[in-house]
Structure 1
Amino acid sequence: MRRTQAIQGLEGLILSFLSQLCDASAVSDDSDSEEDSMSPKAKAKKTSGKKIEMQILDRKKSPVDGVSPMRTIKFPGRGKHASSRVFAQLFRVIDVAHEALVNDVPITKRDIHYQDVALFKSQRVVDQLIDDISATIGVGRGDLNVRASSKGLICGSSLVLHLVDEGELAVTDSEGSLIPVAEDIARFDLKTEIHWVLIVEKDAVFQTLCRLRLTYHPSLPGPGLIVTGKGYPDLATRQLVKTLSDNLPETVPILALVDGDAYGIDIVSVYKFGSQALKHESERLAAERVQCIGLWSSELGELGIDNSSLLQISAADEKKARNLLLRADPLLPMRWKKELQSMLFTRRKAEIEILSCASIPPRPSSSSNITFEEDSGSGYEHPLVRYLVPRINAAVDELAMNVEMG
């Protein structure tokens, strides 16, 4: 049904254009004889009234009274740049997506870009057009049979992903596995009960936690999963987190560890509330159970990290923080807002790696077997582990108490 809706939506956009084109041609034929007697200036004025318009959903604006705002692209347009390029780019993407749907052969956004590099100029143009088109005809990007290349990783042997081609992806505890796109996943299975899920912003931090085998740390209440989108998450990573959020028991916390800066908070908000670019798909992508457990710049003093050790915020950091605050999202937690305000006041930010300078009390010796390979047997426990273990335990205990209290 979704495939049929997508095909009909694409064909509807083309038919709308062709209908207007025919009408404009008819008007032009009827007025040819009249224009012969006009001056060049009068001809230009009359011709300018024959415009072809297409309505595209404006994803930057929120619906008003349940009505989604639209933006109009016109031909001919004003200005130095030929408006025909915009239409050509739009129709090229529609053509490729329609072919992918009719032939039932998936295509990536990068494939579309490289089919006509001279026309699109940049990958970003293709990305925006795909999202514009899917929003306009009321389907998801995946329903157009257009996929983004996966980049997210997952670690944790409790989870098994069964693929559509009848293959199986067995996730391990010591290294990351590439998260397949949702269309390739048939179902999930759990080998053992999952007690927690941790999303980390950075690939380097993810790799460290995998190598330290945090998913089976003896001081945690049970096995867990670690996920990274390597910065801003791709669609496949968001879909996986959303699936986990919808299907895991309420007692399983889904936590996020990000840099203590405006971009870190924005990344958590993408997982939790959805992105500005894909507002129309928030219902199937936003995982509201996600909780941020740091890194909080305001807590670093308690960890023995001097303010002078923090990085100064850049102009881009300041702009991102102010935009997040001005967005006035009523859902944005007060703790997040206070952190943004604190960053703007102190002009400082922190990256996760600064925990290596933190004075975090060591865990009991029972957990000292979780060590770096190069420090095996030394009893050294990584600061990331010392930072995360109590926070994961506290989140698990809090949810269990909430469920128990009803």
Structure 2
Amino acid sequence: MGNVNSLPNKHDEMEILVKTQTVREVLTRIEGIILEIVTSLSKGEAPVLTLTNRSSWSNISFDRAIGLQMSSGSSVSVIRSDCPSSVTKFAQILKILSVIYRLVQRNSYATKRDIYYDNTQLFSSQKAVDHIVDDISCMLKVPRRSLHVLATSKGFIAGDLRYMEEDGTRIDCRSSSVAVAVSSNIGGIRNIVSSAKFVLIVEKDATFQRLLDDNFCTKLFPCIIITGKGVPDVNSRLMVRKLWDTLHIPIFALVDADPHGIEIMCIYKYGSVAMSFEAHSLTVPSVMWLGLLPSDLQRLWVPKDVLIPLTKRDESKLSSLLKRPYLTSQPNWQKEMELMTQSRVKAEIQSLAAIAPDFLTSIYLPNKLRYGGWV
């Protein structure tokens, strides 16, 4: 498929063009916000900032090709500079806007942690910075990575994959024993080279490590495995999307047969409410559920002593998932979840070890991939 030293392909060139246009957009939109504030002050009025409500399902619409996306008529909250309950947030937003403006203008980057420690008195916590960066991304209507504010990645990736970071560092993920941390700057990745036949999203780090230890990425087919170590961070989701856009290969998910695992898979496939404004660059609608399926538990006669009864919280989560707008387009997923509701049990991927210690990598996954055992 080429080599790491090859010239940028058309996909890379398009990304460079888009990046240049986005820089202009970000600077222009921040200038527009500051102009509105100055205009209000010149009129003797208290400046306000308007933020879209990112936590409400009422602001969400579902598009089968994109996932959960923010509606155009979304409800908003007004952050006033003359109100004691919101003046601190107003100041925090202005401070981060000024940092972003300088970063974009200079084409440099900072981490969210850098921003927090630059003024700990203004920002009550790291979470406050994280939340405001997302609010600003939504307010400016640009992807979060275009703000030049990076988040530390928690995900790992391994398999038949090589690429170059924006600073020229060459990354090789083909080691059979050590995974590579997912980049903090996915937008800067270029010259992706891979012969992988598919990408496997793995919910848990422990399962990911087991696949790595068993040399799964080369045994059956060349492939890529990635984990967000539970609920995925934005960088892990961006990386999966980048691989899908570039390699055009199937994307499978391996999660626990429980409501939490299903929701994690849905975040990769359909997105989340909080980041719905960026759905077009984060979701991968082609994600297929490889396992662990509730129907697998019956089909494989998984020992009952490793099955776990659903808690009240599990039942509530399952009921909520079944009401999600995207489930109507996935009748097979719906059947699996209804089966879980009826059986009232859940199981972790590790439960397959009760059948045989190497059952997951030697029998379960090879058979699923060979014979199409996904939904």
Q: Same fold (TM over 0.5)?
A: yes
1:19 aligned partner, one-letter code: T
- Deviation sequence 1:316-352 (CA, Å, 0-9, x none): 4333323322332256522333333344444322111
SS at match of 1:329: helix
Give the alignment of 1:189-268 within 5 angstroms. Answer: 189-190=193-194, 193-217=195-219, 220=220, 222-249=221-248, 252-268=249-265
Question: Between Structure 1 and Structure 2, how many residues are aligned?
Answer: 343
Aligned to 2:49: 54
The 3-state SS of whatever aligns with 2:153 is: coil
Q: CA RMSD in A?
A: 2.7
Q: Distance in 2 between matches of 1:259 and 1:77?
A: 49
**Matched-pair contact (CA < 8 Å) for 2:81–2:90:** no
- Counterparts of 1:66 and 1:225, CA distance in 2: 34
Taking structure 2 as the reference length, the TM-score comes to 0.83
Rg (Cα) greater in structure: 1
CA distance in structure 2 between the aligned counterparts of 1:311 and 1:118, rounded to whole angstroms: 46
1:2-401 correspondence runs (5 A)? 2-24=22-44, 52-59=47-54, 60=56, 61-62=59-60, 67-75=72-80, 82-156=85-159, 158-171=160-173, 172-180=175-183, 181-190=185-194, 193-217=195-219, 220=220, 222-249=221-248, 252-307=249-304, 309-329=306-326, 333-358=330-355, 381-395=358-372
**Residues of 2 paired with 1:238 and 1:16: CA distance?**
35
Q: What letter is aligned with 1:389?
A: P
Query: How has the CA–CA distance of structure 1 residues 166 and 92 changed in structure 2, closer, same or farther, with 3 Å as cutoff?
Result: same
- In structure 2, runs of 5+ residues without a counterpart are 1-20, 62-68
Taking a change above 3 Å as real, the CA distance of residues 98 and 206 of structure 1, as seen in their structure-2 partners, is: same
Cα distance in structure 1, aligned partners of 2:128 and 2:171:
33
Residues in 2 aligned to 1:113 and 1:339: alpha-carbon distance in whole angstroms: 43
> Residue 308 of structure 1: CA displacement?
5.0
Report the secondary structure of 2:142's partner residue. coil
- Measure, in 1, the Cα distance between the counterparts of 2:240 and 2:121: 37
**Matched position secondary structure for 1:391:** helix
Larger RCO, structure (CA 8 Å, separation 6 or more): 2
Checking the alignment, whether the CA contact within 8 Å between 2:270 and 2:285 is kept in structure 1 is yes
1:243-263 deviation digits (Å, cap 9, x = unpaired): 2222334xx422110011111
* Residue identity opposite 1:58 in structure 2: N
Paired residue secondary structure (2:320): helix
Deviation at 1:287, TM superposition (A): 1.4
CA offsets, 1:360-394, max 9 Å, x none? xxxxxxxxxxxxxxxxxxxx744443211111112
Cα distance in 2 between the residues matched to 1:331 and 1:132: 30
Cα distance between partner residues in 2 of 1:381 and 1:279: 39
- Are the structure 2 counterparts of residues 278 and 331 from structure 1 closer, same or farther at C-alpha, using a change threshold of 3 Å? farther
Question: Residue 196 of structure 1 contacts residue 392 of structure 1 at CA under 8 Å; is this kept in 2?
Answer: no
